A and B are shown apart, each in its own frame.
Chain A
């Protein structure tokens, strides 16, 4: 544990996890908004919207996140000239958030769609019978019920997102995997301690989060 008693090393550790935290937070918000929109598109009456949603899901779910982040850097930033900040770390951070969001949104969309499938058809039929439009049926009747069914899968998706944040290190952000690599290279005699601290931090945060989502899902489940 001597490694971390050195303030510079401790700083590296803290900064790494702060980036992970920020990536996870922004990525979660982005993925949730995009994912709900995509799910709504995929069940909508307009064929073009449905096609767009399907294409999105099939494309991003089957492409490695490493490659997507790669694209964000070389495609969005280098070629399309999308510059999100003057600070290089900030810029990479936002590129990473975009990559994580578009990738995770595909999974969120599928989870919500399967959640919609757990709502009995009679609910939507009743809504239609009293004259609700598609938009009303979806937002007032179906999605609120679906939301309770998708807590568990969404939980695992966001836990995966937190872990996937480490991949943004590919484009040079000093997040925790890069921080760990740096510390290991500098302190070869204490690799096990370094790994246990970094991996332990993830485990200490994510395992209880997983159980919390499981508990919440059970509590909120609609008994049918």
Chain B
């Protein structure tokens, strides 16, 4: 159901007045709230020019924000590549006919999907050094945690994608004498990858957001550098607002990219028509 104008009629005179009143009342309430926030911030001197001035100087950006953003992006990029590989391997493993392969793959995927990412990162960062007896670089703790978690989510996405390819596709493959591995590589995986492209990009948004957990274990990503910046200038709220804007800008553009990809694949009409629609819950790219 398209939500636009299906749920309500074109407003008549009474509805127009009612909508007008609602607009005014809600608008006033919202403005009052914003004004209260403004006043409170003012009371605490949060609007003082000194707190915001650093963001107009290039040194703030070159010393703090851009290196932080770079660390965020590099951790996200490495983790994305690794989790794609992880997801591919385990989705194929889980669909294997050999129980000795499919059962452990399934267990690994289910386990890492259920464990909070922060717990995983803490274990890798604080726990693993006790075993290996050498310190764990925060970068790798962040990347390993992100890979295990997002890789598992992607494995489920790939699996749903592979299962959504019509059965006739693989039957045709077997009919011309392909082996199972060939059917998987040449027929199922390419179509699944295409069908799941938007999900994969959306998962990248989750990944970028999750790098912020690195702040908790001292990885010098964006949030950490914002913290350092705030320690120097005493402008924690201003710095956090700027960081939020950067995150929103990066992630909104990724989301827009996912939407564009989805429209593009749909327009060409090449996305496999699923006989068995992809279960929504199984591939929902959410959470941390």
By a beta-carbon cutoff of 8 Å, the part of chain A in contact with chain B is: 42-49, 52, 58-59, 61-67, 70-71, 74-75, 78-81, 107, 111, 113-114, 116-121, 123-125, 128, 134, 137-138, 142, 152-153, 155-157, 159-161, 163-167, 169-170, 176-177, 180-181, 184-185, 188-189, 191-192, 194-195, 198-199, 202-203, 206-207, 210, 213-214, 217
Supply 10 further A-B pairs (C-beta < 8 A) apart from A46-B22, A107-B287: A42-B3, A62-B252, A66-B212, A74-B237, A79-B44, A152-B282, A164-B287, A184-B122, A192-B127, A199-B123
Is B126 in contact with A116, judged by CB distance below 8 angstroms?
A: no
Is B3 in contact with A116, judged by CB distance below 8 angstroms?
A: yes
- The number of A-B residue pairs with CB atoms under 8 Å apart is 207
On whether A117 and B1 interact (CB within 8 A), knowing A67-B223, A191-B131, A207-B110, the answer reads: yes
By a beta-carbon cutoff of 8 Å, the part of chain B in contact with chain A is: 1-3, 6-9, 11, 15, 19, 22-23, 26-27, 30, 37, 40-41, 44, 46, 110-111, 114-120, 122-123, 126-128, 130-131, 205, 209-213, 215-216, 223, 236-237, 240, 243-244, 247-248, 251-252, 255, 279-282, 284, 286-288
Which chain B positions have C-beta within 8 A of A79? Answer: 40-41, 44, 46, 237
Is B205 in contact with A62, judged by CB distance below 8 angstroms?
A: yes
Is A75 in contact with B240, judged by CB distance below 8 angstroms?
A: yes
Q: Give complex CA distance A114, B205 in Å.
A: 19
**What's the nearest-Cβ distance from chain B to residue A215, in Å?**
11
Is A181 in contact with B126, judged by CB distance below 8 angstroms?
A: yes
Which chain A positions have C-beta within 8 A of B248? Answer: 58-59, 62-63
**What's the nearest-Cβ distance from chain B to residue A37, in Å?**
12
Is B110 in contact with A116, judged by CB distance below 8 angstroms?
A: no
Which chain B positions have C-beta within 8 A of A134? Answer: 7-8
Which chain A positions have C-beta within 8 A of B27? Answer: 48
Q: Give complex CA distance A155, B40 in Å.
A: 38
On whether A199 and B281 interact (CB within 8 A), knowing A71-B240, A137-B8, A207-B114, the answer reads: no
Is A163 in contact with B280, judged by CB distance below 8 angstroms?
A: no
Which chain A positions have C-beta within 8 A of B209? Answer: 62-65
On whether A67 and B116 interact (CB within 8 A), knowing A49-B22, A120-B1, A163-B288, the answer reads: no
Contact of A177 among B23, B46, B118 (CB under 8 A): B118
Would you call the interface of chain B mostly helix, strand, loop, or mixed?
Answer: helix
Is B7 in contact with A191, judged by CB distance below 8 angstroms?
A: no
**What's the nearest-Cβ distance from chain B to residue A203, in Å?**
4
Contact of A181 among B2, B6, B122, B213 (CB under 8 A): B122
Which chain A positions have C-beta within 8 A of B247? Answer: 62-64, 67
What residue of chain B has the Cβ atom nearest to residue A115's Cβ? Answer: B280
Q: Which of B11, B40, B46, B127 has the most CB of A within 10 A?
A: B127
Which chain B positions have C-beta within 8 A of A64? Answer: 209-213, 223, 247, 288
**What's the nearest-Cβ distance from chain A to residue B42, in Å?**
10
Q: Which of A45, A134, A161 has the most CB of B within 10 A?
A: A45
9 residue pairs from A and B, CB less than 8 Å apart: A58-B252, A120-B1, A155-B281, A163-B117, A164-B116, A177-B116, A184-B127, A188-B130, A203-B114
On whether A177 and B119 interact (CB within 8 A), knowing A49-B22, A124-B6, A217-B281, the answer reads: yes
Q: Give complex CA distance A180, B26 in Å.
A: 45
Q: Give complex CA distance A184, B127 in Å.
A: 6
**What's the nearest-Cβ distance from chain B to residue A208, in Å?**
10
Which chain A positions have C-beta within 8 A of B41? Answer: 79-80
Contact of B215 among A66, A128, A210 (CB under 8 A): A66
Is B213 in contact with A167, judged by CB distance below 8 angstroms?
A: yes
Is A199 in contact with B115, judged by CB distance below 8 angstroms?
A: yes
Q: Give complex CA distance A194, B251 in Å.
A: 35
Q: Give complex CA distance A123, B237 in Å.
A: 47
On whether A74 and B223 interact (CB within 8 A), knowing A80-B40, A160-B286, A177-B119, the answer reads: no
